[in-house]
Amino acid sequence: MIEGLKLFTVLITLIFLLFKRVNMALTMLIGFLLLGLLFNVGASGFWKAFVMTVSDRGVWEVLTVIILVLFLNGLLKDTGTLQSMVHKLSDILGDMRLVIFFPPMIVGFLPMPAGALFTASLTDEIGDKLKAKPSLKHFINYWFRHIWEYSLPLYPAVMIEASALGVSLLTVVSHQWYFIFLALALGVILSWFKFEKPKDINGFSFSPKKLLELVLTMWTIVFVLVGFLVFKINIVILLLVAIVGEILIKRLSLSQVASIFKSSVELNLPTMVFVIFCFQSMLKVSNAVYVVPNLLKAANVPTLFSLFFFPFLVSFMTGVSTAGVAITFPLLVPLMGDPVNLSLAAWSFVSGYSGHLISPFHLCFITTKEYYKVSWIEAYKETAPLVFAVLMTALLIALI
> What was the pLDDT predicted at 198?
67
pLDDT band at 201 (very low <50, low <70, confident <90, very high): low
Q: What angle do CA 187, 189, 192 make, to 5 degrees?
A: 100
Task: Tell me the pTM.
Answer: 0.73
User: In whole angstroms, what separates CA 254 from the centre of its chain?
Assistant: 33
Cβ pair 142, 365 in contact under 8 A:
yes
- pLDDT > 70: percent of the chain: 96
> What was the pLDDT predicted at 112?
63
Q: Is the pLDDT of residue 109 over 80?
A: no
pLDDT digits (tens, 9 = 90+) for 32-73: 999 999 999 999 999 999 999 999 888 898 888 888 888 988
CA distances from 196 to 32, 91, 103, 153 (A): 44, 19, 20, 36
> What was the pLDDT predicted at 39?
95
> What was the pLDDT predicted at 204?
67
The arithmetic mean of pLDDT across residues 334-348, rounded, is 91
Q: Which of 53, 65, 34, 12 is nearest to 275 (CA)?
A: 53
Q: Is the pLDDT of residue 330 over 80?
A: no
The arithmetic mean of pLDDT across residues 334-343, rounded, is 89
User: In whole angstroms, what separates CA 70 from the centre of its chain?
Assistant: 16
> What was the pLDDT predicted at 202?
64
pLDDT digits (tens, 9 = 90+) for 203-240: 667 788 888 988 898 898 889 878 887 888 888 899 99
The arithmetic mean of pLDDT across residues 350-370, rounded, is 91
Q: What angle do CA 311, 317, 322 make, to 5 degrees?
A: 50
> Before 156, cis peptide (omega within 30)?
no
> What was the pLDDT predicted at 338?
84
- pLDDT > 90: percent of the chain: 36
Other CB atoms within a 10 A radius of the CB of residue 13 amount to 16
> What was the pLDDT predicted at 242?
94
> What was the pLDDT predicted at 297?
72
> What was the pLDDT predicted at 164?
83
pLDDT digits (tens, 9 = 90+) for 130-183: 889 999 999 999 999 999 999 887 787 888 888 888 888 888 988 999 999 999
> What was the pLDDT predicted at 251?
94
